[in-house]
Structure 1
Amino acid sequence: MSIPSTLGGDGQNSFNSFWLFRREGAGVQEAVDSMAAMAVERLRRFISAREEILKGPLGEREDVRDYLWTLAVHVGGHQEYMRTSSRYLGVAIGPGAITLTEITGKFTPDE
């Protein structure tokens, strides 16, 4: 989701999470908070699933460990891109328009 184009209502993103929350009556900040909470929950689920796999017999396989590490690098890289890209920071709408309070840490593959 691009915050500037989404808030601008370009119509191309009318089915993204932001607009679905807005259609349900959420304000801008509430919609952003809901999306952030969803992202955090997905990250927790990924970490939990990865830990369970690593504890089991599949975790003994080098290819499985390599695959899970690669997924973790991808997740961390995606999070970093979203934290630093102007596409997601919404610079076109000015400072203080939204606050991302839920996603405060930086995920690393070793977590």
Structure 2
Amino acid sequence: MPIEIIIQPSSRHRHHYDAYLGSAHLCTSRIPFFDGARVLLSEGHDPNTPLTMRHQGSALVSLRSTIGSAAKLTVIENGRDGPILGVYEPYPLKERRRAEKLSSRRIVSEHEGSLTSGNGASLGA
């Protein structure tokens, strides 16, 4: 039996959709079908399970695939070609930069704390 994702425009994020599996919120995304498939796959659903998506209040199925096939895809947009389907690649560089940013904040915070905590640290001779 296929799994059906129901989407509706997000009230919190412009140009995003809230995706639901029954009454459970699955994700909020610009591409809820593909991101929803990745969530389902990460939760242990069989990649061969048929997956459909429709808009809340509509009987028309907007997209149809299997969980595994949909999880491998994303939408790529550029000014020349418009939206096209492409192979999904996680953003390791983006995640690494986020981790580095958090790490550098922690170092700055610890350093600033040592200067203001009265522990004898000083600048200069």
Q: TM-score, normalised by structure 1?
A: 0.30
More strand by share: 2
Q: TM-score, normalised by structure 2?
A: 0.27
Higher relative contact order (CA 8 A, sep 6+): 1
More helix by share: 1
